[in-house]
Amino acid sequence: MPNNSPAITPEGRRAAERVRTIFFLIAAANIVFVALIFWYRQIEVAQADSARREAVFTRALAAYNAQDRDGFLACFSTNAEPRADAAFFSAIIVGEYHRDFGKVTASKLKSAATSTDNEGGMRNYDITCEKRPRARLTTRFSVENGSARLIQWRMVR
């Protein structure tokens, strides 16, 4: 059987290689573009989670300073250990922390000592208190029904 297909010239071969190269570059650029979109969405989700945790911390701190038991305990998870109840608030929060530290007058998030994960994470703050000019507040969070809740509130000198 005779070969009726025309021979590919060197110019035709180079043109085909250029088209193939352009096609592969476009495909690679699309892959990078899709990866950037997914990465950006993860950053948006992390920032939203951080904002929710900060809002819970702000409410809890305001309730701590006002010695508002119900407002403070409302920020806690039902799975907190030790259990966050009226006895916990009276013994630990008022009986120890308010007695030793007083009201928190300033707080600054220590980003290097902060971790987040799908379960909630931990946030550390350098705080200034009425009775202690320098202290540290550690909070741990859990995610409960889609919202952040405190599971730990610990103040140390």
Our CA angle for 116, 154, 113, nearest 5°, is 35
Q: Which fold has domain 10-156?
A: Nuclear Transport Factor 2; Chain: A, (3.10.450)
- Residue 22's pLDDT is what? 93
Contact 74, 148 (CB under 8 A): no
Q: Which residue has the tokens 């000592």?
A: 113
Q: With pLDDT > 90 as the criterion, what percentage of the chain qualifies?
A: 32
Query: Which residues of the chain have a pLDDT value below 50?
Result: none
pTM for the complete prediction?
A: 0.68
Residue 155, classed as helix, strand or coil, is: strand
Report pLDDT for 48. 72
Q: What is the largest CA-CA distance in the chain?
A: 102
Indicate the average pLDDT of the chain: 85
- Residue 110: other Cβ atoms inside 10 A: 14
pLDDT, tens digit, 9 for 90 and up, residues 110-124: 875 566 665 678 888
Q: Where are the domains of the chain?
A: 10-156
